[in-house]
Amino acid sequence: MIQPNTRGTSMWQCVTAHGLFIDNLFNSSITKMDQCAGRSEADVVVIGSGIGGLCCAGLLARYEQDVLVLESHDQPGGAAHAFEVKDYKFDSGPSLFSGFESRGPQANPLAQVLDALGETIPCAKYDSWMVYLPEADFLSRIGPTEFLKDAILPLSTAAMALPPLSIRGDLGVISTAGARYAPSLLKSFAAMGPQGALGATKLLRPFSEIVDSLGLKDPFVRNWVDLLAFLLAGVKSNGILSAEMIYMFAEWYKPGCVLEYPLHGSGAIVEALVRGIQKFGGRISLRSHVEKIVVENGRAVGVRLRSGQFIRAKKAVVSNASMWDTVNLLPEESVPKTFQERVNSTPQCESFMHLHLGFDAEGLREDLGIHHIVVNDWTRGVDADQNVVLISVPSVLSPDLAPPGKHVLHAYTPGTEPFEIWEGLDRRSDEYKKLKAERAEVMWGAVERALGPGFNRDKCEVKMIGTPLTHQRFLRRNRGTYGPAIEAGKGTFPGHATSIPQLYCCGDSTFPGIGVPAVAASGAIVANSLVSVSQHSQLLDAIGI
């Protein structure tokens, strides 16, 4: 899905559906075997190497904790990993980013973590993407607008006054966040006038309420705002927190703003996080499938791998898996009833369809652009299945992702593909293959519309279609879901500590929610919570926030 910069970074957050990965992407210090080599214990064991887990592990290593990341697959990155087929290098997840070069209190969480780890990511810069709507096609650009100046800028000051990296999950937050940033918060409220504090409470309400208060009734504007909200968090404007939308608008429409694409693909982000973890002594073990979280005397004390190996966690176990998958890793008798009930009652976002292509660039227009959004029918709603298709052609900006004169492309339906129609199908059956071809047709049509008559699907050198079943299989996502469908005003994302002592969770099932910026923040919050306030404060000083 699109991740429009809720905290200033990656925007198109989706996951691929393949078991193909780039070989030798990382150095040989990453273990590649069916069980974890070396010491069978650590201060903190992190389950899963998605962005949230890697950010958590990186900061813990920076805090001089002995941290071990256990990843089931043979490459790190989770939903953000990259993979290679026939010399084409594909993004499996995020492909629209901004804010990698930002620094200081208002930087996005991922940029702050990379800064703490001393890592940088070279990027290509651009400022627009193509949109194909029932009414017309147009080029959407970022940059200053009157809407930002009059409606968003005052609230954005408050939204950006508290850096996510300052937050922790205990009373120490009074020092690291409350006292440290109280002056900037008060200043932002004062700048908003007499109703400042009252206005700031809108940040925790659905964004549709702000749209209503501005008297915006034009159907196209309302549809467009719904589309941006849905691509950001899997819910429309009546379900997304105003803080998320306001931060995105503030980042996209400020003077001099640009979008960024990491040179060498989104896998470069994962690679940078891995380098940072290893630089500070952290460990990553791939092909190390966690079968169970071990609970003794009511406390999480480690994990057991599918190989039977036990890995002890002296301080904590951190799960980067979804809430549904985390529950399944726990012994049934150790799961508190309230925890189980909350997980069972939390609605899920739907899954994805994916199309990955490699093809010759000959005959295509030179100003193709990297990103394209296709909406087929406003009346069905942006959250309707088969209605919105997102397309990325990253080789436009990073030519090394494809052989000379060729392009890689990733198209997908963003968290709108129902799992029910796939459930129980045999992936080798003719029924499955037929359904896959039928459900992929909307993506083919969108690609043909975006690329124009110079594109010929029959001449593609690489054609791969992914379904919710491949999502479930390779990313170990319950029902292939994008994450919890929690709407602002109707529910809140859980915190990071659980009712089982020494078990913590990060990722899209926890606060602040879905999306790369959000999961990076969640991983940072857990890491901060596991060290002293003094260590946390020293880190904030070191990175200038």
Statement to judge: residues 402 and 473 lie in one domain? yes
The whole-angstrom separation of Cα 196 and Cα 471 is 44
What does the DSSP 8-state code read for residue 79?
G
Statement to judge: residues 382 and 471 lie in one domain? yes
**Under DSSP, is residue 416 helix (H, G, I), strand (E, B) or coil?**
strand
What does the DSSP 8-state code read for residue 274?
H
Torsion angle (degrees, nearest 10) of CA 144, 146, 150, 155: -30
In a domain, 104, yes or no: yes
Statement to judge: residues 378 and 412 lie in one domain? yes
Q: Can you tell me which residue has the tokens 């896959």?
A: 436
The whole-angstrom separation of Cα 448 and Cα 446 is 5
Q: Which of 480, 502, 529 is the last residue of a domain?
A: 480
- The pTM (predicted TM-score) of the whole model is 0.87
Statement to judge: residues 361 and 470 lie in one domain? yes
- From residue 508, give the alpha-carbon distance in Å to each of 24, 421, 482: 28, 24, 9
Q: Provide the pLDDT for residue 22.
A: 27
Q: Provide the pLDDT for residue 206.
A: 83
Q: Provide the pLDDT for residue 314.
A: 97
The whole-angstrom separation of Cα 376 and Cα 135 is 10
99 in Cβ contact with 314 (< 8 Å): no
Q: What is the CB neighbour count within 10 angstroms for residue 245?
A: 28
In a domain, 10, yes or no: no
Q: Provide the pLDDT for residue 21.
A: 28
CB-based contacts of 61, cutoff 8 Å, min separation 6: 67, 276, 277, 279, 280, 281, 282
Does the bond joining 163 to the residue before it have cis omega, within 30 degrees of 0? no
Q: Provide the pLDDT for residue 107.
A: 74
Statement to judge: residues 431 and 505 lie in one domain? no
In the numeric block, which tokens belong to residue 543?
A: 């990175």
In angstroms, how far apart are the furthest CA atoms of the chain? 67
Statement to judge: residues 72 and 116 lie in one domain? yes
The total number of residues shown for the chain amounts to 545
What does the DSSP 8-state code read for residue 170?
S
In a domain, 20, yes or no: no
286 in Cβ contact with 73 (< 8 Å): yes
Statement to judge: residues 468 and 360 lie in one domain? yes
Q: Which of 455, 480, 505 is the last residue of a domain?
A: 480
The whole-angstrom separation of Cα 266 and Cα 16 is 13
Q: Provide the pLDDT for residue 191.
A: 57
User: Which residue from 121, 258, 96, 174 is spatially nearest to 113, judged by alpha carbons?
Assistant: 121
Give me the domain span that covers residue 191. Answer: 144-160+181-217+225-251
Q: Provide the pLDDT for residue 14.
A: 33
The whole-angstrom separation of Cα 436 and Cα 352 is 12
343 in Cβ contact with 486 (< 8 Å): no
pLDDT in tens, the chain (545 residues): 333 333 333 333 333 333 332 223 333 345 545 667 778 999 999 999 999 999 999 999 999 999 999 999 888 999 888 999 999 999 987 777 877 777 776 678 899 999 999 999 999 999 889 999 988 898 888 876 655 555 566 666 666 667 778 888 888 877 877 777 766 656 655 555 555 555 556 667 788 887 887 777 788 878 888 888 877 777 788 888 777 777 777 777 777 788 889 999 989 999 999 999 999 999 999 999 999 999 999 999 999 999 999 999 999 999 999 999 999 999 999 998 888 888 888 888 899 999 999 999 999 998 899 999 999 999 998 889 999 999 999 999 999 999 999 999 999 998 899 999 999 999 999 999 999 999 999 999 999 999 999 999 999 999 999 999 988 888 888 898 888 888 877 888 888 999 999 999 999 999 888 888 889 999 999 999 999 999 999 999 888 88
Q: Which of 480, 505, 522 is the last residue of a domain?
A: 480
In a domain, 27, yes or no: no
In a domain, 30, yes or no: no
The whole-angstrom separation of Cα 134 and Cα 466 is 26
- How many domains are contained in the chain? 3
In the numeric block, which tokens belong to residue 194?
A: 């007499």
In a domain, 534, yes or no: yes
Helix (H) or strand (E) holding 408: strand 406-417
Statement to judge: residues 463 and 374 lie in one domain? yes
- From residue 384, give the alpha-carbon distance in Å to each of 227, 234, 240, 351, 416: 11, 11, 17, 12, 6
Which CATH number fits the domain that encloses residue 538? 3.50.50.60
CB-based contacts of 510, cutoff 8 Å, min separation 6: 323, 493, 494, 495, 496, 522
What does the DSSP 8-state code read for residue 153?
H
Write the secondary structure of 306-370 as one string of H (helix), E (strand) and C (coil).
CCCCEEEEEEEEEECCCHHHHHHHCCHHHCCHHHHHHHHHCCECCEEEEEEEEEECCCCCCCCCC
Q: Provide the pLDDT for residue 7.
A: 32
Statement to judge: residues 271 and 372 lie in one domain? no
In a domain, 256, yes or no: no
Alpha-helical runs (H) found in 40-179: 51-62, 109-116, 146-147, 153-159, 173
User: Which residue from 332, 298, 286, 300 is spatially nearest to 21, judged by alpha carbons?
Assistant: 286
Give the DSSP per-residue string, 180-218.
HHHHHHHHHHHHT-TTHHHHHGGGGSBHHHHHHHTT---
CB-based contacts of 352, cutoff 8 Å, min separation 6: 14, 15, 17, 412, 413, 414, 415, 417, 466, 468, 471, 480, 482
229 in Cβ contact with 217 (< 8 Å): no
What does the DSSP 8-state code read for residue 248?
H
98 in Cβ contact with 269 (< 8 Å): no
Beta strand ranges found along 38-136 (DSSP E): 41-47, 67-70, 82-85, 88-91, 123-126, 128-132
CB-based contacts of 52, cutoff 8 Å, min separation 6: 320, 506, 507, 508, 519, 520, 522, 523
Statement to judge: residues 63 and 88 lie in one domain? yes
In a domain, 376, yes or no: yes
Q: Provide the pLDDT for residue 16.
A: 31
Statement to judge: residues 108 and 67 lie in one domain? yes
Q: Provide the pLDDT for residue 18.
A: 34
Statement to judge: residues 321 and 371 lie in one domain? no
192 in Cβ contact with 199 (< 8 Å): yes
Residue type, 137: D
Q: What is the number of alpha carbons within 13 Å of residue 52 lying toward its C-beta? A: 31
